[in-house]
Chain A
Amino acid sequence: MQVSMIVNGEEVTREIEGRLLLVHFLRDHLGLTGTHWGCDTSNCGTCVVWLDGEPVKSCTVLAAMAGGHEVRTVEDLEQGGELDPVQRGFMECHGLQCGFCTPGMMMTARALLDRNPDPSEEEIREAISGQICRCTGYATIVRSVKWAAAHEASTPAGGAS
């Protein structure tokens, strides 16, 4: 079947199998390997992308279901050569180690800050609680998101496609 969608602001059209998962569509068909895959059961969240502005686990979305919708991935966080404050926050506060969960964590964090510009520690922990990090112990991710919240003013908020 043919599927068309907007990915990171650009329209893409591909011939796919109906059962193809969105995560594999992004990675294998579009080469957007920043979105990762880590489990079979929608538990780990390394595959989180935005679907029409909402964070979703792309291992649990068929590419066909995203047809006609807008998808945003980690590759789109940096805009015009300017890093998103979330990206800067993760670097600044050591919010990553192996980097595998990081894209999903950042996409969730960006969505959180767009709705709640000054989240509490509890709100940040709640927001990322559907995702697993095996490296950081989460405290530095919390600090990273808080850092981003404190530095939002320096770049345009959001920047969604």
Chain B
Amino acid sequence: MTTTDERPAGFENNDHKPIGHGRMLRKEDPRFIRGKGNYVDDVQLPGMLHCAILRSPVAHARIVSIDTSAAEAHPKVKAVVTGAALTGLGLAWMPTLSGDVQSVLATDKVRFQGQEVAFVVAEDRYAARDALELIDVEYDLLDPVIDVRMALDPSAPVIRDDLDGKQNNHIFDWETGDEAATEAVFASADVVVSEDIVYPRVHPAPMETCGCVADYDRIDSRLTLWSTSQAPHAHRTLYAIVAGLPEHKIRVISPDIGGGFGGKVPIYPGYVCAIVGSIVTGKPVKWMEDRSENLTSTGFARDYIMRGEIAATRDGKILAVRTNVLADHGAFNGVAAPVKYPAGFFGVFTGSYDLQAAYCKMTAVYTNKAPGGVAYACSFRITEAVYLIERIVDCLAYELEMDPVELRMRNFIQPDQFPYRTKTGWVYDSGDYEPTMRKALELAGYDELRREQAERRARGELMGIGVSFFTEAVGAGPRKDMDILGLGMADGCELRVHPTGKAVVRLSVQSQGQGHETTFAQIVAEEIGIPPADIDVVHGDTDQTPFGLGTYGSRSTPVSGAAAALVARKVRDKARIIASGMLEVSVADLEWVKGAFHVKGDPGKSVTIQDIAMRAHGAGDLPEGIEGGLEAQICYNPENLTYPHGAYICVVDIDPGTAQVKVRRFVAVDDCGTRINPMIIEGQVHRGLTDGVGMALMEMIAFDEDGNCLGGSLMDYLIPTALEVPDWETGFTVTPSPHHPIGAKGVGESATVGSPPAIVNAVVDALKPFGVRHADMPLTPSRVWDAMRGVPRPPI
């Protein structure tokens, strides 16, 4: 049933083929399948101590007193540190990714359950945990703000009284699009449909939790930090700024990372605690959070309450969309987004459709919940944007009694409209939507599915078919538009070809499982003809790699991949000049055929890239003005984002007796431009589809009215296993990006973004006989049951 390209027999020598793009086994796998990966918790240093963090058991309270004397008396404890001690070091507060401040250890109040209050450094991890039990904290309980809709009520307690003059829980208002023009279109439209749509709070929950090993060398004033970071260079600069350590004395190493999905972009208080612990004790200190700490304190995602509105003609021409969003940012504004985009790229909520007008208004507020707003497998809030448009378009189809595919096809941006400027100012680089949609219909057997559905409905069975079509904006971004805390979102790349023709390429981005060691070797191989097996990819170490902003928002291939291709071309340009000297012809007489320069018209006369590398390092003459060596470095500043798209079709069956949703089939057709390694792309799509099943049907970080987190373990926060997901059916179309050097677009997160609306649309479609037009995620049996009985309820 799957459409993956089948692999020929005899894979063993695959890595040695002189290929560039194409299916290739991963260079990182030999260590992983032997259990020889090197994750942060695998790092063991002589004399290493262990850090554990005491966290607030309540959501909102003033700290009256902290007594650490019993913990300090524990024979294995080396240090106990509270917020008061950090205040003395100027480290009690740190900046967030959004320019707010976050407490490292609470000094005045605790503002969410799970907030860091004190830490212990001890000889082993068990003793460190024991000592936490010996710390006595007296809290004076305050009313928490849990219901986001009440956060701006004048009676709501003020959470951030640490901020000068703060009298309420308001963070920002933001708008995009043209309000008046949109209102005019709505006022004269035949049909207007509105729906309240909630995207609940979820969590990336990578299998490896967050942690680090901090090793501060007092003699050399040098800090080495092994860290679960998706952005080691950005982290190093921020540590330098926050802690006042000289940047050249800080080395951040991100070894193998056990999944990140956006959750390992922020700097968490635990990292700072471990660093302080190492400075205080003079020993290396390891901190690894447990799963509950991960789910309750590190970056959540989504948590948008949206009012979606769509205006259209009676015959299904969509004219405008409008939305009003209430965003729950938790206790500190830690949203991961470029500075100019406080709501990330939510502005791309106009979707894949040619509209006359669009307008979005958003209000963000503080609540007594964990901070975050990380880009969980999405490019800065695009997941919410795509869900909104794809859900509201289905609501429109419901009202017009029109097939959801037909409605979408009627409104697609057409190929000749690209580059296409949306009504909120984004410029889509390229797209050809209809073939992608048609391919998905064909793979799914859409017409046959609709026939089957009609038959089943006649028998009282609940079968649903859901469609979504997304356009994503990924690969942040042009430096003039995008920065994180003042750091421009460009990426460096260095390529060095050794004398024998082997090479090393150094990247600023950081794999968390995406297979960079393979993909980037292939990108370089395609450009300079050195086999991928002969190209070492170095990443995840600030001492070994050029500066850049790291991996998130599907930016590795759009930004760093472009850098790798261009640095390889720079090397090839130099190689061409050296080759002209070797062959005693002008450069214009040379022809590049993967891996060698040939003399035009005399193909027998040629030099390989390996020959050229040896000459570049040899004692012989080089053309005038050419230095020895064969290496180059660049910093790539993308011209625009890349805009991958895709068409997804989901088939669900619902048990009418239990309201249990079963995803029977899922067809995903993705267009991410040029495909470098189809195997890796397919894997990333599968990953995102599974995320989609989780978010649509199972996952939610919920809170009770006191602010207790109800999703604080994997017994409560349900992640799909192999039994909840089908065998994925994938396909692809190729619409290259016109501005990317090899035409590639990001893909790592497309499926996380595109699949939730397809699944929800399928469930709602199955519930059509009950008159259901919308039901919110997560569509657990009890919530589906309520929808079937005509009383759908929002999850928050």
Contact = CB atoms under 8 A, between A and B. Distances in A.
Interface of A: 17, 19-20, 24, 27-28, 31-41, 43-44, 46, 73-75, 77-78, 83, 87, 90-92, 94, 96-103, 106, 121, 124-126, 128-142
Interface in B671-730: 679-680, 682-684, 686-690, 713-715, 719, 721-723, 725, 727-728
Contact of A91 (B25, B292, B690, B719): B25
B723 to A, nearest CB: 5
A-B pairs, top 6 by smallest CB distance, nearest first, are: A34-B35, A98-B513, A100-B258, A137-B686, A99-B32, A74-B35
Given A40-B713, A44-B207, 6 more contacts: A17-B126, A40-B292, A43-B714, A97-B687, A98-B256, A132-B721
Interface stretch (B37-45, B164-172, B219-227, B530-538): B37-45
Contacts of B205: 134
A148 to B, nearest CB: 11
11 contacts: A34-B34, A38-B207, A94-B26, A97-B684, A98-B206, A100-B207, A100-B259, A134-B259, A137-B687, A138-B690, A139-B686
Given A129-B722, A138-B722, A139-B2, A101 B686 contact: no
Contacts of A73: 35
B68 interface: no
Contacts of B488: none
Most buried by B among A106, A124, A134, A140: A134
B100 to A, nearest CB: 28
A126 B724 CA distance: 11
A106 B259 CA distance: 18
Contacts of B512: 98
Nearest to A138: B722
B261 interface: yes
Contacts of A38: 207-209, 258, 291
Contact of A100 (B11, B124, B208, B686): B208
Interface string B14-37: 000000000001101111111111
B514 interface: yes
A92 B292 contact: no
B122 to A, nearest CB: 13
Interface in B256-275: 256-259, 261
Contacts of B147: none
Interface in B424-457: none
A98 B206 CA distance: 10
B140 interface: no
Contacts of B727: 121, 139, 142
B36 A34 contact: yes
A135 B259 contact: yes
A63 to B, nearest CB: 12
B794 interface: no
B713 A90 contact: no
Contacts of B713: 39-41, 43
Most buried by A among B31, B32, B208, B690: B32
Contacts of A36: 39, 41, 207-208, 258
Interface of B: 2, 7, 11, 25-26, 28-39, 41-42, 44, 124-126, 205-209, 256-259, 261, 290-292, 512-515, 679-680, 682-684, 686-690, 713-715, 719, 721-723, 725, 727-728
Nearest to B730: A139
Nearest to A104: B207
Nearest to A126: B723
Nearest to A105: B722
Contacts, number: 175
B291 A39 contact: yes
A38 B717 CA distance: 14
Contact of B39 (A19, A43, A90, A100): A100
B362 to A, nearest CB: 29
A45 to B, nearest CB: 9
A98 B722 contact: no
A150 B2 CA distance: 19
A17 B41 CA distance: 20
A152 B237 CA distance: 51
A142 B689 CA distance: 16
Contacts of A138: 686, 690, 721-722, 725
Contacts of A40: 290-292, 713
A155 B292 CA distance: 42
A87 B32 CA distance: 9
Contacts of A77: 33-35
Contact of A41 (B209, B259, B714, B723): B714
Contact of A96 (B2, B29, B728): B29
A124 B557 CA distance: 34
A138 to B, nearest CB: 4
Contacts of B11: 92
Contacts of A28: 44, 124-125
Contacts of B207: 36, 38, 44, 46, 98, 100-101, 132-134
Most buried by B among A28, A83, A137: A137
A97 B208 contact: no
A90 B33 contact: yes
A29 to B, nearest CB: 11
B36 to A, nearest CB: 7
Contacts of A34: 34-37
B515 A128 contact: no
Contact of B33 (A83, A101, A129): A83
A129 B719 CA distance: 11
B723 A75 contact: no
Contacts of B39: 33, 36, 100
Contact of B126 (A19, A97, A124): A19
A90 B292 contact: no
A125 B291 CA distance: 24
A133 B680 CA distance: 16
Contact of A137 (B31, B33, B728): B728
Given A39-B291, A99-B32, A138-B690, A132 B26 contact: no
Nearest to B718: A43
A94 to B, nearest CB: 5
Contact of A99 (B28, B719, B725): B28
Nearest to B717: A43
A140 B686 contact: yes
